[in-house]
């Protein structure tokens, strides 16, 4: 059972990395300090961005539950 959670943890870690990198920058971070946030969009969140947020949260919850499960099994 440990192996299943470990594999799931690795897969969700990689998926979270990809999902977080797919997000648009909201501004106010280090990229703005060095001129990276010049083209800020005025419009609200699109449906794709909201779905990306939801998917990221769902993967993060699976990731956290894997960590807790592995911690309890140790």
User: pLDDT tens digits, the chain, 74 residues: what are they?
Assistant: 899 999 999 999 999 999 999 988 776 666 666 765 555 555 557 899 999 999 999 999 999 999 999 999 98
Tokens of 35: 């001129």
**Entry pTM:** 0.74
Q: Which domain holds residue 8?
A: 1-20+50-74
Compute the C-alpha angle 57/53/39, nearest 5°: 145
Q: Is residue 26 part of a domain?
A: no
Please give the pLDDT value at position 6. 96
Please give the pLDDT value at position 32. 63
Q: Is residue 31 part of a domain?
A: no
Q: Is residue 61 part of a domain?
A: yes
Please give the pLDDT value at position 24. 83
In contact, 7 and 70? CB cutoff 8 Å: no
Please give the pLDDT value at position 45. 75
Q: Is residue 32 part of a domain?
A: no
């Amino acid at each position: 059972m440990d192996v299943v959670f470990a594999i799931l943890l690795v897969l969700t870690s990689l998926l979270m990395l990809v999902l977080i990198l797919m997000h648009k920058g909201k501004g106010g971070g280090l990229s703005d300090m060095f001129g990276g946030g010049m083209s800020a969009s005025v419009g609200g969140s699109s449906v794709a961005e909201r779905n990306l947020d939801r998917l990221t949260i769902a993967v993060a919850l699976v990731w956290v539950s894997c960590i807790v499960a592995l911690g309890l099994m140790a």
